Structure formats: C-alpha cells, structure tokens
Structure 1
Amino acid sequence: MTQATRILLSLVVGLSAGIALAAFAPGAVPGATAVAEPIGTAWLHALQMTIVPLVVSLLVTGVAATAEAARAGRLAARAIALYVTLLFLSAVMAALLTPLFLSVAPLPAASAAALRAALSGAAAIPPVAPLGEFFAGIVPTNIVKAAAADAFLSLIIFTLVFAFAIARIGADERALMVRFFTALRDTMLVVIDWVLWVAPVGVFALTLVVGARAGTGAFGALVHYILTVSAVGFAVALIAYPLVRFGARIRLRAFTRAALPAQAVAISTQSSLASLPAMLEGARALGVPVSTAGVTLPLAVAIFRATGPAMNLAVAIYVATWFGVPLSPATLAIGVVVATLTSLGSVSLPGTVSYVSAIAPIAGTIGAPLAPLGLLVAVETIPDIMRTVGNVTMDLATTALLGRGAPRDHDEEDILP
C-alpha cells in the first residue's frame, strides 16, 4: 500500500469513526476528542515546522537550477521564458476560475460552518492589512522575525534576492552555497517523509474530531473540494491543445494520440519523471527532433509544473472562501505572484510530499488559515492525478511548440499548412 493510499484510508476510517461515535455514543465524544485533538494538532505542527526551511532551500536550488539551465544555450533559455510565462498564466487562470466555480457551485453553508467549528486552530485568522501597509511591509526589516511570523511573501522576496545574489558570486563559492541549500532541501525532505510516515495516525486523529463534530457533511465537503481544485487543473491542461493547434501547427488528433501513453503513465504513477520516456516517444511521434526534445523535456520535468500555480492557488482560495476571508482583486494578484514564484522551487515528488510547503506560502499571503491543509493533504492523491496528467500534457505541448521550425524527424502529414 502506497503512502498516499494509507493516508487516504486513514481519513476515511477517521471520519467514519467520528460520525459513528457521534451517532451511537454521543456521551463518549468529549473524551475521544480530548485524546485525539492534541495528537492531530501535534502532527499538524510537525508538518508546519518544515515549511520555512524547505521553502527557502527549494527556492534557492530552484533559481540556481533555472539559471544554470538558461546558461546552457539558446533553446534552454527560450524554454525557460516560455515556462515562466505559462506558469504565470496558470496562476491567473486559478485567480479567475476558482471564485467563478465557487460561485456557481458553492460549498454548502452547513458543511462549511460545521467544518470551521470542527477544525481547531483554524478559527483565528489575522486581519488582512490595508493595501498600502501591506506593500510597505513586503521588504522585511528582520528576516528571522519574518520567518518566525510566517510572513511568507517577505521571506520569498528575501530568498529570491539572496538566490540571485548567489548567481553573481564566484563559481567555487556559488557551488558551495548551492550544495549547502541542496543538502538542506534533501534533509528537510527526509524529515517530511518521516512526518508523513506517521501521517495515518495524525490524519486519523484530526478526522475523528472533524467527523464527530461535523458529521456526514465532511465527506460531501471533501468531494466538493476535490472536484473544484481538479476542475481548475483540468482547465490548465486543456490549454495544451490550442497551444499545439495554433502555436505548433500540429493536428489535434495527432497530438492526442501521441500524448495518450504519457498520460496513462501519469495516471498510474503520479510522477512526471516516470512519464518522461513516454513523453520522449510522443515527441518523436510528433516529429520533434531528438536534439530539441532531449533538451526541453528533461528541463520541463525538472522546473515546469504547469498545473502547480493554478491548483496551489485554487487550494488557498478555496480555504480562504471556506473560512470567509475576503479576497480583493489586489489580494488575488499577490496570490498569483506568490504561486508563480513558489512553483519555481517545486520538486518532482508526489503531491503529498510537497503539498503543504507549496501551498502554505500562498495561503499565508492571502490570509487563509493553514490548519485545514493537514486535513486536505489526505485527499491530495486524487487531485495529484490531475496535476500530473496536466503537467505531462503541457510538457509535451511546449516541446512541440519549441520544436516548430526545426527539421522534422518524420513526414509532414500531421503538420498543418
């Protein structure tokens, strides 16, 4: 049984146990929640304690890898420019589509209220500062204080400045700093792996309390969350098709046929890296030269997560809406920027590993509470399928676009005039 399956199973069992306890032994609920709640809270704190060092190390190593790739040649530089543009557009789509989806099909008010009451530690949301005060506080006066206060936007800005400064120092010193942050990143990933190893216990404790307090509405709320976030990822994946049709000038039937094997691997493995051989074969079927696909596809797998900004921002917007946090256009615009920047530091790992570290900075910036992420990570295995399918589809589409104009590796029957 995979780690994600164990966590999802513990969520189902915990919610069912909590609902059954409230229905058949209501007198036992206070005692059970008094035991389970501290366990779940402690596990959630363990998950949150990894966020700051992991975000910093991922951003530094991500910027270093991107800068190194850009120095590799003109094709790599063109690819990176295209990837950054699409990552930004991905986040913009989430800022537009998620509120739209939530207005068309809102979370039932009763379920939202019950879940808010059930999640301890999520009720106290600091007020969002006025816009002028917010921008004035973006540049931190004390980076240690900003990290301690979970001021993620200030932390991200400092880290980006720091990472770009590393790129300007001598080669030996730069290599030393990159090795240090790479070691820090890998160490924190080991810590997260340990935290997730005991996740079934923590998730069971959290969901037992939620089930006992929120009842059957919790299941419906989680299904609503999965469908909403997955719909945003699906919308991003669909962008690949007009990109291929009008940008790469390739027939949609040919692209669909070439992408299917990679999409099948993505569904079964939830890994873009595991889908790379199938993507290379799909690029060959589209006639993209090996000299192009051999550079752009590994680069895309390493630094391009097309659905990442959209689905991460969608989660943060969903939680903010769930807890009644007002989201102005300015707040959403800031969320778009943070979602784009944090995606540059994402790693090729299952969503349950990088989930909290990727979404917490966005949620913290727009004022959404972090506590619900400990519950939502348990169902990430389902949206993660959509994430991976969308990523590999966009990886193949951008490779076809970047290969346009190069000598084809087969006849031209699939190329539009």
Structure 2
Amino acid sequence: MNRSRVAAFFSSLSFFVVAALVAGVVVGALAQDADAPLVTSGLGMIEALGQVWLNALRMTVIPLVFSLLVTGIVSIADAAATGRMAGRALMVFAILLVGATVYAILAGLGLLQIWPIDPQAGAALLAGVPADAAQTVGVAAHTDGFQAFLASLAPANLIRAAADDGVLAVVVFAIAFGFAATQVRQDLRRPLATFFEAVAEAMVVIVHWVLLAAPFGVFALALGVGLRAGLGVAGTLGHYVAIVCLSQIGLILLTYIVAVVWGRIPLGRFARAVAPAQVVAVSTQSSLASLPVMIERAREGLGVPQASAGLVLPLAVAVFRLTSPVANLAVCLYVAQLSGVELGLPALIAGGLTAIAVSIASVGLPGQVSFFASVGPICLAMGLPLGVLPLLLAVEVIPDIFRTVGNVTADLAATRIVNGPDEAEEA
C-alpha cells in the first residue's frame, strides 16, 4: 500500500466528512423547523444505516489493536537490541509517555471542571445518537473496586472478554504475547511477527473500505442529531475541539520545560530549533514527512551528532507518539462527561494503561483510522459509549494538527535528552 497515496486520500476524505457533518445537521435542523413528517418517519432507517457503518468500524478494533501491539512490541524489542543508545531512547520514551498519561487525566478532568459541557447542549447532542450506539459497554466502568478491576485484567476466557468488549484484558494479553514472542527463536519469531503484521494490514484495508462510506455514515448520524438537537449542536462540537486542543497545547508547553530541564538546553535555543519542524508538521500533519527537517534541526539547532539523530528520530517516529494518550484521553473524558458516566479510579487506570498501549499500536496509521483504533479501545476499557465518536471524528482535523506539532516537538526534545549536551556546552 502506497503510504503517500493513502495519506492524500484521507486528507481529501476529511473535507467530505466535515461537509457531510455540516450537511446532515443543517438538513436535519431544517426538517425539524419545517416539521417534515416524511423525513421524521424515515429517521429510524437513517439511524440504522449509521449504526451499521459504526458497527463495521467497531468490528475491526480488537483484531487491529491486538495485531499492532504484538508487532509493535517485537519491533521495539528488536530496536532495543541494536545498541545502548536505542535502549536509552526507549527508556526516555517510556518515561515521557507515562508522564503524559498522568498529565492527560489531570488536565482533561481539570479543563472539564473549569469549563464543563453545557448540560442542555450535551443532552441535545446525545439525543441524536441512535439508542443502541449510546449504550455504555466495557468492564472498567462496572467494577466495584480494585479487586474486580484486577480480576478483569486476566479473565478466564479471553474470547468471551473480547466478545464483551473487555478491551483492557485483550490489551494485557497482547502485551504479554508480544513480549513472549520476543523470547522465541528468531526463525519462529519472524513468521509470527509477519503474520500479525499481515493481519494488521488487512484490518487497515477493511477500515479503509469502511471509511470510503464515512461521508454517508456521518451524514446519517448527523441528520438524526440535526432533527433532534438543531443547529445548537455546533456549539458543543466547538467546545469539544477547544478542550482537546487546550489539553495538547498544555502538553506542548510542558515539553519545552522538560527539554530545558532534562535536556539541559536554553529555552530560546530549543524554541528556535524546533520551530521549522513545527511549521512542516502544521502543513503536512505527518511526523514522517517532518522527519528530514527534524534530523537537520537536531543536528544544527540542538547540537545532536548526525549519527545520534539518524538513530533516535526515526525510532521516535516509529514507536513514540507523546500526544496520543493526551488527545485520546481528552476525547474519552469528554465522552464520559457528555454521557454522564462517573469515572472511578479503576476506570481512569484502565483508560490510562490502554492509552499507553494503543499509542504504540496506532503508529503509522492515517488519522481517521488511528482515531477509531486508539479512542475506541480506550472508551471500551473505561466503559464509555462509542456512538458519538463518528461525529467527533468529523471535527478531528483541527486537533490532529496539534497532535502532529506535539509529536514533532516531543521527538526533538527526546532526541536532545537521549544525546545530552555536547562537550562545548558542558565546558
């Protein structure tokens, strides 16, 4: 599959999805004002079509996440075996990811406490979501405490857990399976990793096919929202975009602080070094496309040797997405408040662990694919409904820009931290 063509396809698809969202809400609102019985009577069929499209996406979540986790862990283990610097880089990535996840939960809850969702607007938005899609599922939200939560991590029947959307249990098993795969003989490990890589690619192709119908699916769901909620839903979607973007902006600012303190570099120098890479990130929304300028800026602006930059930055692009848990958890926390789901500590831990795991699994996927592959499992692990996600996907264009900018900034910060200051700076 030609990745540049796929990226171009999804870039053009985003326009049609946004247009379908706007058209669906407007047509629904006009039908509501006009009291059109024909449209209203056909709402059930329209919602059914939207639900079929949503289910087609959901059916790929478990096999896609499992396969990507296994191949991701095997690739990380192989990278760590290549040398001390690669191992140190992976350690830095892990520490930063854990810190970002803790920040994501605190920032998401804090922002929604300071600037909560308008209850009437939120209820109006949910009123347009089909009833079946609005049901709360998953294990984490139904646990009564840590004993039940811990028991859910290792169910007696993994297949049943997967069928019941027990995503966290599947993620735990996939991680264990992936590390176990790194311990088998190389002649056995290679075909095993290749098999799961092929499964993941096949799932991406299926998602690709399903997303071809995204404008129709989003239009069907948005029409129901427009009929029930009217044009007021635009304010809720704008509020959602602001919350997710603010969470990521806070992470980007913290990344500057981490680079200065841990990377031992002046703030002004780091800011000047990363700015050109951030500009490329905004224009391309791709960390991979930003890689050449990142390597150049690491060498010229951050004082990182060419050999170090050439090792750490490609590794970062391959397995390190710092904004993934932040943006994905911001989405899930928004869905929780929107749906009126009270999240206890077990649900937050389940969401955080799943967010870290799928941050590896979602690497290299187009934005629309990674949105469902990342946010869907976290929602399921936290016991949250998925029905509203297609509408949030339609406005993902703006948050996705901050995802890429944050990842590029974090990649360069991590590269500086791994390499440390040069001899001239230490002197």
- Report the TM-score, using the length of structure 2 for normalisation: 0.93
How big is the shift at 1:291? 1.2
The equivalent residue for 1:393 is 409
Matched-pair contact (CA < 8 Å) for 2:134–2:386: no
The one of 135, 138, 143 aligned to 1:124: 135
Q: Deviations over 1:331-356 (max 9, x none)?
A: 21222112112212222233211111
Q: Deviations over 1:117-163 (max 9, x none)?
A: 21112443256121222322320211211111110011111111111
Q: Deviations over 1:7-36 (max 9, x none)?
A: 112111111111111112443342242332
Matched-pair contact (CA < 8 Å) for 1:272–1:392: yes
1:246 aligns with 2:251: no
Distance (Å, rounded) in 1 between the aligned partners of 2:155 and 2:367: 30
SS at match of 1:263: helix
The equivalent residue for 1:190 is 205
Gaps of 5+ in 1: none
Distance (Å, rounded) in 1 between the aligned partners of 2:349 and 2:158: 23
The equivalent residue for 2:222 is 207
The equivalent residue for 1:155 is 170
Gaps of 5+ in 2: 1-10
How big is the shift at 1:365? 1.3
Q: Deviations over 1:234-261 (max 9, x none)?
A: 1111122112222222222222122112
The equivalent residue for 1:316 is 332
Matches within 5 A, 1:272-287: 272-285=287-300, 286-287=302-303
The equivalent residue for 1:404 is 420
Matched-pair contact (CA < 8 Å) for 1:271–1:348: no
Matched-pair contact (CA < 8 Å) for 1:76–1:296: yes
1:229 aligns with 2:244: yes
How big is the shift at 1:360? 1.4
Aligned AA (2:104): A
Distance (Å, rounded) in 2 between the aligned partners of 1:214 and 1:89: 38
The equivalent residue for 1:18 is 28
The equivalent residue for 2:186 is 171
Kindly tell me the number of residue pairs found equivalent between the two proteins.
411
- Indicate the larger mover: 216-225 or 17-26: 17-26
Distance (Å, rounded) in 2 between the aligned partners of 1:368 and 1:33: 25
Structure with higher helix content = 2
The equivalent residue for 2:63 is 53
- Report the TM-score, using the length of structure 1 for normalisation: 0.95
SS at match of 2:143: coil
Moved over 3 A (4+): none
The equivalent residue for 1:367 is 383
Matched-pair contact (CA < 8 Å) for 2:51–2:133: no
Q: Deviations over 1:147-184 (max 9, x none)?
A: 11110011111111111111111101000100000111
Matches within 5 A, 1:340-351: 340-351=356-367
The equivalent residue for 2:349 is 333
Q: Deviations over 1:215-239 (max 9, x none)?
A: 1221111111111011111111112
Aligned-pair identity (%): 43
Matches within 5 A, 1:39-118: 39-118=49-128
SS at match of 1:20: helix
The equivalent residue for 1:352 is 368
- Indicate the larger mover: 5-14 or 180-189: 5-14
Distance (Å, rounded) in 1 between the aligned partners of 2:358 and 2:156: 22
Distance (Å, rounded) in 2 between the aligned partners of 1:260 and 1:416: 24
The equivalent residue for 2:151 is 136
